[in-house]
Every structure is written in structure tokens, then in C-alpha cells.
Amino acid sequence: MFSLNQRFQHVSSLALSCSFLVIALIAATSWLQLVKDNVFELESQLSHIRSATRFAKQKRYGGSAVNPTEVSKIRFNADFDFSRLFNWNTKQVFAYVTAEYEGDENPHTMNEITIWDKIIPSRDNATFTLSDIDAKYQLWDLESKITERPLTFKLHWNIQPWFGFLINGETTGSKTIELKKPVDKQKGK
Amino acid sequence: MNLRLELTRFLSLGYVLSSSFMFWMGLSLFTDCHSPIVVVLSGSMEPAFQRGDILFLWNRNEKNNVGDVVVYEVAGKSIPIVHRVLKQHYDRSTGEQLLLTKGDNNNGDDVPLYARGNYYLNKTKDVVGTVKGYIPQLGYVTIWISENKYAKFGLLGLLALSSLISSED
């Protein structure tokens, strides 16, 4: 009646469903813990955002010799504490600062660009006080201008779990500024 | 040799195959994604994703946000790539979205991986799906089987052996 094969199948299917139940429990309880810790309204401070803008003719930036693109380098200060994002189901937190803005020549576009990011592997290194740091990525748009329009800078996070769902959120401290026009002589043509 | 027994066995085999096929296609329809479950093949997203991790995709979103991890396929290259969105430009009037991606573990962005002359991905054309769920390491079996010929033969042998044993009882 009960062959070795049947026993094996029975045990393995039981093990499989039990482990999936445990995984579901881990994912659900860690989500509840995040809600309880109120992480979806984490505070952050972005300040002292300043820029240096140049003109680029490379195709990579969407520029050409005739119509170069503005490419901005950003420096900024940031202050945040992501230790509440860490619980038993957090493998890493990915922190990133973005600039959000509307299109200028084409007002229908909505744009968002990462200027800085950081992989945070553990709770011990989740508090940051950054002053006067260089952004990792330069800022340029599909249009040739990026300066002189309101850009909203914001710090976001993304939790990479051990099991289950990836969770995204943003912090409350956002900052809207306009970048200064480049003081430049060699604006092509 | 009992013909009725053999036919029943054949029928149950067909049942297993067709039900797994229907499950896959149903999931594919539900997520609007031609391969809703993928296995990570490269280390370019470490430490978030390692080789062999299983990812669950969703493709019913109209646009992606920056920071989303997406799977995309470049025309002419067969291997899908799992990377994070670094920039997005969304046109509300046409619904078109351009994306620039980068692997967390890579130094530069993905422009060298895109089709020649392309500096952005097109959300509707190139993106297979957005990563929503994650299970570690379980997919390593498939990598092991596809990359190790002994594993392949071993598995076939085991299957043959088990069918021999089961036909005795």
C-alpha cells in the first residue's frame, strides 16, 4: 500500500507546503512590523543643494555640436536614519536621491532621475550625516535644458527582503530648487 | 503488460503536463508577462540578488518608477537582464516611457548593453516585467541542470530508475 516512493512524495510535499507557510508568515509579520514602526513617513533632511552645469556635445547626453545639452553636477547635504527599515526580513536597503520635474518644451512629460544611491547592508550602518558630497550621477534631460525650472529632490528607499515582496517608500523631507544657469562662454555655435 | 494500466498511466502523465502548462499560461495572463517567474543568472545586482534567486514579475503597471527593479530583453540578445531603473521620462499624452537602467553591482549604467544607437529602453517594448516578489537560491537547480551535463544525465537516469521501480508495484 505505502511504497517508498509514495512515502517520499508525501513527506516532500508536506515539507514544501510547510516551508511556504513559514515564508508567508515571515513576509506578513515583517510587513506589519514596518507599518507599526511607521516607516512610510520617515523623516530626512536634504539641504544645501548646489550645482555646476556644463554643456555636453556627446550623443550619450543627447547633445550635438550645434545644440549641446546642459549637464549638471550636484553637491548636497543629507541627514537620515534608516535603522527602522531593518527587521528580521530585511536583507538590504537601497537608499536613493532623485530629482523630479515636469517637461518644459513638452509639458506632458514627467521625469525622475537618480543623482545618488547607496546600498545599506545592515542596521549598524543605517544612519547617515553627509555633508557636501558629490552626487554619483550627473543630471541631464531629454531636452537640452535642465536649469531654470523647479526640480524636487527627494530621498527614497527600497527594501530587499530575505523572502517575499520588495517594498518601496519615500521620506518626507523633499526640497524644490531651480538650478542656476551655466555661466558659460562656449555655448556652441 | 496490462494495456488499461499503461493507458491510465499515460493519462495521468498528460494530466500533470497539461495542468502545469495551464498554471504557467494562467500566471502569464494574470501578470501580462511572457515569463512571470525568472531565475537570476548574473551577479550584477549583488548583494540584492544572487545567481539562482527566483523573482516574480508583474507587468500590468503602465509606467515604472525610479528605483524599481525591472527585467528587460534587448532585441537580438536572448538573455533577459535584471537591473534597477536609474532614470525615467514619461509622456502623459502618449503613454510612452523611456528608462535608463543600471545594475547595483556595476560601475556604469546599461547603455553599452542596449541595442546599438539606443540610449534608453522603451517601457512597453523592452521591459518584460517589474520584480515584485523574491525567493532566494531555489532556482539554482535549473542553472545547475542547464550548465552541468552530468547533472542532466543524472537526472534523466534517476527518472528512468524511478519509473522502473514504480512499475514493479
Mutate to test the interface with A, among B87, B123, B168 (most CBs of A within 10 A): B87
All residues of chain B having their beta carbon less than 8 Å from the beta carbon of residue A158 are: 67
Interchain contact, A3 vs B169, CB within 8 Å: yes
Preceding omega of B80 cis (within 30 degrees of 0): no
Query: Do the Cβ atoms of B48 and A113 come within 8 Å?
Result: no
pLDDT (tens digit per residue) in A134-163: 999 999 999 988 988 999 999 999 999 999
Mean pLDDT, to the nearest integer, of A110-133?
Answer: 94
pLDDT of residue A189 exceeding 50, the answer is no
What domain range includes position A62? Answer: 39-178
Give me the CATH code for the B33-138 domain, please. Answer: 2.10.109.10
From A113, A156, A165, residue closest to B87, measured CB to CB: A113
What pLDDT is attached to residue B166? 64
Chain B environment of A119 (Cβ under 8 Å) = 47-48, 104
C-alpha cell at A39: 516607516
Whether A35 contacts chain B with CB within 8 A: no
Contact B88 A121 (CB under 8 A): no
**Closest CB from B65, B93, B134 relative to A108:** B93
Position A110 in a domain: yes
- Sign of the CA dihedral with B63 first, then B69, B71, and B76 last: positive
A187: pLDDT strictly greater than 60: no
A16 located within any domain: no
> Is there a domain that residue A9 lies in?
no
How far is it, in rounded angstroms, from Cα A123 to Cα B67?
20
The answer to whether residue A168 is domain-embedded is yes
Residue B155 identity (one-letter amino acid):
L
The ipTM estimated for the assembled molecules is 0.88
B132/A166 Cβ within 8 A? yes
What's the Cα-to-Cα distance from A132 to each of A74, A128, A179, rounded to whole Å?
A: 10, 13, 16
In a domain, A24, yes or no: no
Is residue A1 over pLDDT 80? Answer: no
- Smallest Cβ–Cβ distance between B162 and the set A5, A112, A164 belongs to A5
Minimum-distance CB partner of B47 among A3, A92, A168: A92
Torsion of CA B108, B114, B116, B118, to 10 degrees: -90
- What pLDDT was estimated at residue B65? 95
Residue B158 to chain A, least CA–CA distance (Å): 13
Distance separating alpha carbons of residues B111 and B28, to the nearest angstrom: 29
First to last CA, chain B: 13
Determine the Cα–Cα distance for residues A51 and A169; give it in Å rounded to an integer.
26
C-alpha to C-alpha distance for B65 and B89, rounded to whole angstroms: 10
* Regions of chain B with pLDDT less than 70: 1, 165-169
- Smallest CA–CA distance, residue A189 to chain B, in Å, is 25
pLDDT of residue A18: 95
Q: Does A125 touch chain B (CB under 8 A)?
A: no
Q: State the Cα torsion A138-A142-A144-A146 to the nearest 10°.
A: -50
Which grid cell is B113? 548593453
Residue A156 forms beta bridges with which residues?
Answer: A96, A170
A14 at the B interface (CB within 8 A)?
no
**Residue B149 and residue B155: Cα distance in Å, rounded?**
10
pLDDT of A96 strictly over 60: yes
CA distance A75 to A116: 10
C-alpha to C-alpha distance for A54 and A68, rounded to whole angstroms: 9
Domain limits, chain B: 1-31, 33-138
Instruction: For residue A124, tell me if it sits in a domain.
Output: yes
Contact B23, B36 (CB under 8 A): no
Q: Which residues of B touch A106 (CB under 8 A)?
A: 91
Burial class (CB in 10 A: 0-12, 13-18, 19+), B133: middle
Q: Grid cell 520588495 — which residue?
A: A166
Task: Give the whole-angstrom CA distance, residue A25 versus residue A34.
Answer: 14
When divided into structural domains, chain A yields a total of: 1
Q: Which residues of B are catalytic?
A: 44, 83, 110
- Residues A33-65 have pLDDT tens digits of 999 999 999 999 999 999 999 999 988 898 888
B140-147 and B149-166 helices cross at what angle (nearest 10)?
Answer: 100
User: Which residue is closest to A142 within chain B, CA to CA?
Assistant: B89
Residue A6 maps to a domain: no
Nearest to B86 among A5, A114, A166 (CB): A114
Residue identified by cell 550621477 is A137
Separation of alpha carbons A70 and A83, rounded Å? 37
pLDDT of residue A184: 61
Closest residue in B to A98 (Cα–Cα): B66
| Residue with grid cell 517567474, as numbered in its chain | B37
